[in-house]
Structure 1
Amino acid sequence: VDTEEGQKCLHHWLEVNIPGRKPMRLCGGTSPGIINTNSNTVRLDYHIGARGQSNGWSLRYSTSRAMCPVPGNVTNGRVTPSLTEYYYRDHIYVHCDQGYKLMMDGQEIKCFSAMCQSNREWNLSLPECHNSIIDCGEPDPLLNGGVTFLSDFQNQYLSVVQYHCNEPFYSPYGGNNVSFTCEADSHWRSNNEDVLRPICQPVCGRPTKPIEYAAGRIIGGSDAPKDTIPWQVLINIDSNRGGGMIIADHWILTAATTVLANEQVICLGDSDVHQLTASPSLNATAIHVHPEYNNPDSLNYDNDIALIKLQDPVTFDASIMPLCLPAEDDTYDTGIMGMVSGFGVTDKGAKRFLTNKLKYVHVPVEDQEICRKSLKRRPGTRTPTLTNNMFCAGMPDGGKDSCQGDSGSAFTLQSENGRFWAAGIVSWGVKCGQRGTYGFYTKVANYVDWINKIMQEN
Structure 2
Amino acid sequence: TAMRWSYLVLLALHYFSAIAAQCGVPAGLTKIVGGQSVPNLKYPWFVALVSPTSLSTMSVSCGGSLITSRHVLTAAHCFPRDQGDSPEQMYRAVFELVDRCNNPDVPNFALSRVDINPGYNSQTLVGDVAVATLEQSVPYTPVCLPPRNFMKIGEAVIIGFGSTLVKSPYPCSMQEARVNIFSKGQCARSGLAPEYSTLPGTICAGIRRGGVDSCDGDSGGPIQTIGPGGIYTIQGLVSFGEGCARRNLPGVYTQVSAYRDFIDGIISSSGAGGGSVVGGTGPPSVPTPQRPLTPLEVFLQGLGFLKPNKNPSYPSSSYHLYTRGDQYKNPLYPQQNQFSSGRNPGYPYGNQYYSRWDQSSTNRNNVYSHALSQT
Instruction: Mark yes or no: TM-score above 0.5.
Output: yes
Structure 2 portions without partners, runs of 5+: 1-16, 54-58, 271-375
User: What corresponds to 1:352 in structure 2?
Assistant: 168
Cα separation, partners in 2 of 1:332 and 1:236, compared to 1, 3 Å: same
State the match for 2:23 in structure 1. Answer: 204
User: Which residue of the other structure, out of 229, 232, 257, is the alignment partner of 2:77?
Assistant: 257
1: distance between equivalents of 2:197 and 2:182? 16
Match of 1:342 in 2: 160
99, 114, 127: which is aligned to 1:287? 114
In the aligned structure 1, how far is the partner of 2:149 from the partner of 2:119? 26
Tell me, what secondary structure is at the counterpart of 1:370?
A: helix
Which of 274-283 and 421-430 deviates more? 274-283
Is it true that 1:221 corresponds to 2:221 in the alignment?
A: no
Which residue in 2 is equivalent to 1:322? Answer: 142
Q: Alpha carbon RMSD of aligned pairs, Å?
A: 2.6
Q: How many residues align?
A: 240
Q: Which residue of 2 aligns with 1:231?
A: 45
Shift in CA distance, 322/275, structure 1 to aligned 2, threshold 3 Å: farther
Aligned mates of 2:190, 2:212 — CA distance in 1: 16
- Contact 2:95 2:107 (C-alpha < 8 Å) held by counterparts: no
The structure having more radius of gyration, on CA atoms, is 1
The aligned counterpart of 2:359 is: none
Deviation at 1:285, TM superposition (A): 0.3
Structure 2 equivalent of residue 362 of structure 1: 178
Distance 1:446 1:328 in 2: 7
TM-score (norm 2): 0.59
Mapping of residues 431-450 of structure 1, within 5 Å: 431-450=243-262
Displacement of 1:270 in angstroms is: 2.7
CA 255–291 in structure 1, closer or farther in 2 if over 3 Å, else same = same
Higher relative contact order (CA 8 A, sep 6+): 2
The residue correspondences of 1:15-94 to structure 2 (distance < 5 A) are: none
Task: Read off the aligned partner of 2:180 and give its amino acid letter.
Answer: P
Secondary structure of the corresponding residue to residue 230 of structure 2 = coil
Superposed displacement of residue 303, structure 1: 0.4
Distance 2:117 2:149 in 1: 24
SS of structure 1 residue aligned to 2:185: helix
Letter in 2 for 1:369: G
Cα offset, 1:387, TM superposition? 1.8
Which whole-Å CA distance do the structure 2 matches of 1:285 and 1:409 have between them?
A: 20
**2:48–2:63 Cα contact (<8 Å) kept:** yes
Aligned position for 2:62: 242
Aligned partners of 2:257 and 2:174: how far apart in 1? 25
Q: What CA deviation, in whole Å up to 9, does each residue of 1:207-240 have, x standing for no partner?
A: 13147xxxxx721420010121111111125776
Return closer, same or farther for 1:292/1:375 CA change in 2, 3 Å cut-off: farther
**CA 1:207–1:242 in 2, change beyond 3 Å: closer, same or farther?**
same
Alignment-mate amino acid for residue 163 of structure 2: V
User: What is the identity percentage for the equivalent residue pairs of Structure 1 and Structure 2?
Assistant: 28
In structure 2, relative to structure 1, the CA distance for the partners of 1:240 and 1:247 (3 Å cut) is closer
- Mapping for residues 131-150 of structure 1, pairs under 5 Å: none
Greater fraction of residues in strand: 1
Q: Which runs of 5+ in 1 are unaligned?
A: 1-172, 176-200, 212-216
